[in-house]
Every structure is written in C-alpha cells, then in structure tokens.
A and B are shown apart, each in its own frame.
Chain A
Amino acid sequence: MNLFVDRYPEEAWIVRAALASSFLALFLGGIMGLIQGLHRTGFLQIVQDSTYYTVLTLHGVSMVLLFTIYFLVGFFQWAVTDSLDRSAEDIRFTKLWYFLMVAGTVMAAAAILGGFTDATNLEADVLYTFYAPLEAHPIFYIGLVTFVIGTWLAGVDWFRSWWAWKKEHPGERTPLRAFMVMTTMLMWYLATIGVAAAILFFILPWSLGLVDSVNSLLTRTLFWFFGHPVVYFWLMPAYMMWYVILPKLAGGRLFSDPLARIVFVLFLLLSVPTGIHHQYVDPGIAEGFKFVAMTNTMFLLLPSLLTAFTVVASMEHGARQRGGTGRLGWLRSLPWNKPAFTGMALAGLMFAAAGFSGMVNAGMNLNYVIHNTLWVPGHFHLTVGTAVALTFMASTYWFLPQITGNGVFSQRLGLVQVLLWFLGMVFMGNAMHRIGLAGEPRRTAEPFYDGVTFDTALGSISELHFQIALGSVILTVSLLLFMAHLFLSWFDVASNPAPDNGVIPEALSGPENAPIVLENLRLWTAIALVLILLTYALPLASIVSANGFFGSAGTLVGTAYEFAVSPFVGVVA
C-alpha cells in the first residue's frame, strides 16, 4: 500500500485530528448560518434579535477562523510530510501546536457561547472583526492569540522539516507542495503581526482595565492589516488543491510548475499591503493612502487571473488525455461523476464569479456603492463559502482515504452533496449581491426600517429574501449530507477499500524550468516587508499622531503603561 496513513501513521493522526476539528467548526458554523438566513429574512425567528449577534459571531469565527485554518494545518502537514517524504522532526512538537490551537479555540468558544446565557459574565458579541471599543471578555482575545501562536508553531514545525530536507538534498528544487506551504506561512507571519499588535498592545490591556481607552481607528487598521491576508491564508490551500490535485483528478497534469511558484510568491509579496481597501470609507486616512492600497489590490488580481488559466489548462489537458476533442467539446470528457473533481471544478467556477465582485470591492470610489451592504458577505460567501469550502469538502472525497485508510462511503452521495452546495450558493450569492446593490446593510438582525425602502432593479427585495432563505436550507441539507457521509466513511461502515491513488503526476513544465531565484524565500520576504512598510508606515504614523496610541486620556496606570510600551509599539507601527 502506498497510502499516506501507512507510510506516516503519526502525521496522519494529526491530519485527521485537524480535519475533525475543522469539520466540527463547519457544522456548528453552518447551523448558525441557517438560523441567520431564516432570521434576517423574517421567515423563522427562533432567537431574540439581540441573540442574533451572538449567532453571527459564532458563525463568523467558526467559518473564517476555525473551519478554514484547522483544515489548512491538517492539509499542510500532509503536503509537507508527503512532498518532502520525511517524518515530522519531532512529533511531540507537532502535537504541541495542535493542542495549543485547541486550547485557544476552547477559550474563544467559551467566551462566545457565554453570550447565549446570562448565567456567566462571559460574552463576546463582537463579531469576528472585534472592532474596539466593542468589548469582549478578555478570555476571547487570549483564546484568539493562543490559537494564532499555535499556527505560528505549526509553521516553525514545517520550516524545520524543510531546512532538514534541504540539508540532505543540496541544490535540489523544493517540491511544489512544500514550496507553497513555506510561502503561505511566510505571508501568514507577516500578516499576523497586525492582529498580534492590535490585541497584545492595545485591546487586551484595555479589556483587562490596564488602560482606559483605545484608538479605534488604530486597532481597526491593525485588524485589517491581518484581515485581508487572512483571506489568502484560507485560499492558498484551495489553490494548492487546484494546482496539485485537480489536474490529476481530471486525468491530466499541472500545466506549469514554475507559474504556480510565481503565483505563490506574488501572494507573499502583495497579500498584506492591501488591507486598507477594507477602509476606503474610513475617516482619518488620506485618499492617497487608499489609492496606494487599491493599486496593490488590483495587482493582486494578477496571480488569481494567472491561476485561472493554468488550472483550466490543466483540466483541459486531462480531458484531452481522456479522449476529449473540439474547442469546448472536451468539457464533456471530464470526470463529472467524481465528487472530488466536480466539487472543485464548480468551486473554481464560483470563484470566477467571486472574482468579479472582488474587483468591484477593490475599486476605491466604487466602494461607496457596496461598502458594508449585503454585497460584501455575498462576495465572501462565494470565496470562502464556496471556492474554499466546496474545494475542502470535495477534496475530502479524495483525501480522506489517504489519511484514514478507508474508502469513501458512496461517490454518488458525494456527488449529490457537492451539487447541492453549489446550487444553494447560487441562490444565496445571487440574492446577497443584488440585495446589497439595493443598499440593504450586512450584519443586521432585522433589515426592516421605518421610512427606509430598498429598491431593486429587477424583481423585489422579498423575492430575494426568499432566495436567501431557500439557499440557507439547501446549504444546510448539503452540510448534513456531508457530515453524515464523513462519519460513514471515516468509520468505514461500508468497508470500501481505499483506492491506491495517492501519487501526484509531475507537471508538464517541471520545476527545473523555474528561475532559481524563486527558491530564495529570504529575498521575497524582504521585498514583502519593504512593500508593507511603504504602504503602512505613513498611514499608521498619521493615525497615531492624530489620536495617540490609546485614543483619549488614560488612567495613571494607563499612562505609565503607555510610557513603557510606546517605544515597542513605535517599532511595530
């Protein structure tokens, strides 16, 4: 047998644990999503309006932080171990970072769940963006930091493997999957500086009562320093699957390995210095800084547009190897009966649509039309909610046997599941975008106001609300199918043998064709740092000089703290 679980049983355990955590979060977040979808459209309101925001916080944190990042660490562990063909340097360290993430999750979850009951003072109704001075219980922030530290150590673990591999393979190109993991983690280290600074220097001391106030715009800006690259952090594992697994499932080979590397380097360079595009309509930030962020954001379209070509070309290669012909007739020769393939291909199709709404989001003054309307969650339900989530779910139909040694329960059931997810998101995504264009805000329990009407160009708001509710229900059915199927496959109810198909075919244009400078990750990290400094140094300096590090005047303790911490903060800012 050539299965990953047979070759690396201990690493496979970590991968399974991470995936189980991920899908638990997906399940919980999905149920919250159903409650919201029915509540804000007025079809079924089983919680109080005020509780809606607890539900929303749980949905956001579960989906965008827990589901995605747990899946990522599991998948990356597989990618590093499998592509370098080497065990973890110290499996105890691997377990350490996983359990650190779990500890962080438990703390943050306890704070959020406390919001459902008055029995404790635990509360975190601050949504996943936790804009201060909205305030959560300190345990929420401590949990988030602990979770992030877990991911930092995971990165250290994978870098140790890579360094050890390089020592034993001097002069060789890093295998593609390991290369993708390293560039993604470097981007993550740069990105998380923002959220770590926001929480550790400002929000946590304030929530503990050490300082009296926060500079809202400063913590908000530091959040988005992290908040935009985090979307690429979710997206990179999906990209990796499209580059590495999808061509194989289509029956083909990756079109160009060097181009895949260039794309990941571009993400390392450009993911962070774009966060201000979430703040296009913020006061306190000059238009010039917003324009710079926009330019970076627009150029960040490049790696995604290049990916579209490479991935589709790889699928076309597979179709033609399977006997497909014609200009578009080859599309019929793709393995549409396999859920792993179909799910990923549909996820990619949805990502193309999401690409367009993302381009609109990126357009500086165009942001006036859609900022904080339902258009924005419409956009990211197509990106993280479909491109990422559907790719993760679909890939599980191929991936799970590699890490459990059991075949999946039923390919046909899997196919129904991925198709339902796609269908549900078609309704949901279409309706959310169009409602947003009509001006209805996001993050609202009841978007029904006296004297405020939302007019749509086509159809009516109530018809679109119905589409959201319908989409939520279809998505929930798909989610329940997925969880049931996962359970049946994991515990090998049908005793299906695991197919021995873990081999990844080589790219048509191999790594030896890539310029050697691509391997120089120090260089790319240094350039990324320079771009970040160019984009963020002046805006942060102007925000701090206008309102201080801590907003308005603080207590005596706070003043002493400010005096002590300012030099360090100054270095970061």
Chain B
Amino acid sequence: MEIHRYETIWFAASLLLIVGFIGTITYGAVGVGVEMVDDSGGTVDPDNLGSHERFGDTGVHKVNESHYEVNMIAVHPSFIPSEIEIPAGSTVTFYMTASDVTHGFKLVDSNLNTMIIPGQVSEITAEFDEPGEYGFVCHEYCGSLHHEMAGNLSVVPEDEWGGVDS
C-alpha cells in the first residue's frame, strides 16, 4: 500500500492531537480533581419520594460548619426548592432526582451541569468561596412549560446566612 510521506506526517500529527486531548481531560480529572456525575448517588423509587429519607425533606441542610447539603426534586415545571441560600466559603453537595420525567440542571456561570433522571440520584459537590448570585435552569425538555423551570442560588456572606429553609 502506497502512503505518501505527507499522509504519514498528518497521521502522526492526528494521533498526537488525540493523545493530547485525552491527556488534558485526564489532567483535569486527576490533577485538578474534577469529578464526573456518576452512580454514587444511588437510586430511588420516583413514585415514593415523599417517604424517602432524603427527598422527603427537600432544601438546604447543614452537615457541619463548612459542608452543606441541598436536596432537590425536579418536577415539571419547577425545582423544589427553587430559591436556595448558602453561606460563602462552604462546600455544597447537591442531591437531585426527578419525580416525573427527565430534567436537567445547569447553574449558569459555573461548571455545575447534570441530567436529572427518574429513579437516579445526581450527586454533585462544589465549593462556593465568594458571595454571589447564580441562576439555574432546567436544560432538558420536560413538558409544555419547560421554559419556565428555573431558580436562583444566593451565596451570601457567612454572617448573613439565614439558616436552613423550611
């Protein structure tokens, strides 16, 4: 088989590009420590979320001084809760599931982005160092009012934080 010298050069450059891409991603995962949403959240029965120990009690929960948990249910066309307040300088773990159809969650101006699938729990953890306002939206079509499904996350200075919501 005749392969032109330039083709060989390009073949090598292509492989270099591919290996470089995989290397960058690996660096992000191992070096920086970016984790993927995975199966660590476990599964739930979407028809009985009310009696579930976590999703029967939605909202913000304090684990310790620096760690908070947010339990959320997505149900067309709302997030429960849709207004979230957490203190700056905290690590927050979100647990999200859906009671009806597949939804999505993207916190705008951040890299928090996950699917929310009935029967599955999406678990994502992130640090919020500075006070600020973030919006979040449902990014997977979930019904005729899908475009109304959004909410807000306020990161407030530690001394202004009002505690867990009801």
Residues of A participating in the B interface, judged by any CB pair closer than 8 Å: 49-50, 53, 56, 125, 127, 131, 133-134, 215-217, 220, 255-256, 258-259, 279-287, 290-291, 294-295, 298-299, 301-302, 305-306, 309-310, 313, 359, 362-369, 371-373, 438-439, 441-447, 449-455, 509, 513-515, 542, 546-547, 551-552
Contact of A372 with B25 at beta-carbon distance under 8 Å, contacts A452-B108, A515-B1, A542-B39 already known? no
In whole Å, how far is B120's beta carbon from the nearest beta carbon of chain A?
4
Residue B24 lies at the interface, judged by CB distance under 8 Å to chain A: yes
Q: A287 touching B101 by the CB < 8 A rule?
A: no
Question: Knowing A287-B36, A515-B1 touch, does A281 contact B115 (C-beta < 8 A)?
Answer: yes
Residues of B within 8 Å of A513, CB to CB, are 1-2
Q: Which chain A positions have C-beta within 8 A of B106?
A: 371-373, 439, 441
A-contact bits for B113-130, CB 8 A (1 contact / 0 none): 111111111110000000
Bound-state Cα–Cα, A464 to B91, Å = 35
Lowest 9 CB-CB distances: which A-B pairs, in order?
Answer: A452-B135, A50-B144, A441-B139, A372-B139, A368-B111, A283-B122, A439-B108, A283-B120, A305-B14
- Asked if B108 contacts A443 (CB within 8 A), the reply is no
Q: Shortest beta-carbon distance, A213 to chain B, in Å?
A: 8
A477 to chain B, nearest CB (A): 28
A552 touches B22 (CB 8 A): no
Given contacts A53-B141, A217-B120, A452-B136, contact A287 B35 (CB under 8 A): yes
Q: Chain B 79-115, CB within 8 Å of chain A: the 1/0 string? A: 0000000000000000000001110101011011111
**Cross-chain contact A306 with B1 (CB below 8 angstroms):** no
Bound complex: CA A309 to CA B15 (Å): 14
Partner of A445 from the list B22, B146, B150 (CB cut-off 8 Å) is B146
The answer to whether A284 and B144 touch across the interface, beta carbons within 8 angstroms, is no
Contacts of B148 on A, CB cut-off 8 Å? 449
CA distance A133 to B46 in the complex (A): 12
How far is B1's CA from A513's CA once the two chains are assembled, in angstroms?
5
Given known A50-B144, A216-B118, A454-B108, contact A280–B7 (CB-CB < 8 A): no
Q: How far is the CA of A442 from the CA of B138 in the complex (A)?
A: 10
Are A305 and B17 touching (Cβ within 8 A)?
yes
Interchain CA distance A367-B106 in the complex, whole Å: 12
**Chain B nearest CB, measured from A215 CB (Å):** 7
Q: How far does the alpha carbon of A379 sit from the alpha carbon of B122 in the complex, in Å?
A: 26
Q: How large is the interface on B (under 10, 10 to 19, 20 to 34, 35 or more residues)?
A: 35 or more
Query: Number of contacts between A and B (CB, 8 Å)?
Result: 211
Chain B residues lying within 8 Å of A294, measured Cβ to Cβ, are 22, 25
Cβ contact within 8 Å between B111 and A449: no
A373 CB, nearest partner CB in chain B, Å: 7
Q: Contact: B135 with A449, CB < 8 Å?
A: yes
Given A286-B39, A287-B36, A452-B150: A50 touches B145 (CB 8 Å cut-off): yes
* Contact assessment for B108 and A369 in the assembled complex, using a CB-CB cutoff below 8 Å: no
Sample (8) of A-B pairs whose CB atoms are under 8 Å apart? A215-B119, A256-B4, A280-B36, A283-B121, A364-B25, A445-B147, A451-B133, A455-B109
- Report yes or no: A363 in contact with B25, Cβ–Cβ below 8 A: yes
The B22-48 residues at the A interface (CB cut-off 8 A) are 22, 24-25, 28-29, 34-39, 41-43, 45-47
B36–A281 contact, CB under 8 A? yes
Partner of A285, one of B24, B39, B112: B39
Closest residue of chain A to B133 (Cβ to Cβ) is A451
Q: A294-B22, A441-B139, A443-B140 are in contact. Are A216 and B108 (CB under 8 A)?
A: no
Given contacts A283-B41, A439-B108, contact A365 B120 (CB under 8 A): no
- CB neighbours (8 Å) of B114 from chain A are 281-283
Which B residues fall within an 8 A CB radius of A?
1-4, 6-7, 10-11, 14-15, 17-18, 21-22, 24-25, 28-29, 34-39, 41-43, 45-47, 100-102, 104, 106, 108-109, 111-123, 133, 135-148, 150, 152
Shortest beta-carbon distance from B124 to chain A in Å: 9
Is A220 touching B102 in the complex (CB atoms < 8 A)? Answer: yes
Roughly how many angstroms separate A131 CA and B72 CA in the complex, as a whole number?
A: 21
Q: Which residue of B lies closest to A442 (CB)?
A: B139
Pick from A134, A217, A447: contact of B147, CB below 8 A.
Answer: A447
Given the known A-B contacts A368-B113, A443-B141, A452-B136, are A259 and B36 also in contact in the complex, defined by CB atoms under 8 Å?
no
Question: B108 to chain A: which residues have CB within 8 Å?
Answer: 438-439, 452-454
Beyond A50-B144, A365-B36, whether A305 also contacts B1 by CB under 8 A is no
Q: A295–B22 contact, CB under 8 A? A: yes
Evaluate contact between B144 and A546: CB separation under 8 angstroms.
no
Known: A366-B25, A372-B139, A546-B39. A283 touches B115 (CB 8 A): yes
* A461 CB → nearest B CB, Å: 12
| Nearest A residue (CB) for B104 | A372
The answer to whether A302 touches B18 (Cβ under 8 A) is yes
Closest Cβ–Cβ distance, residue A570 to chain B (whole Å):
19
Contacts of A279 in B (CB 8 A): 115
* CA–CA, A368 and B114, complex, Å: 8
Residues from chain A with Cβ under 8 Å of B100 in the complex: 133
List of A residues within 8 angstroms of B7 by Cβ = 256, 259, 306, 309-310
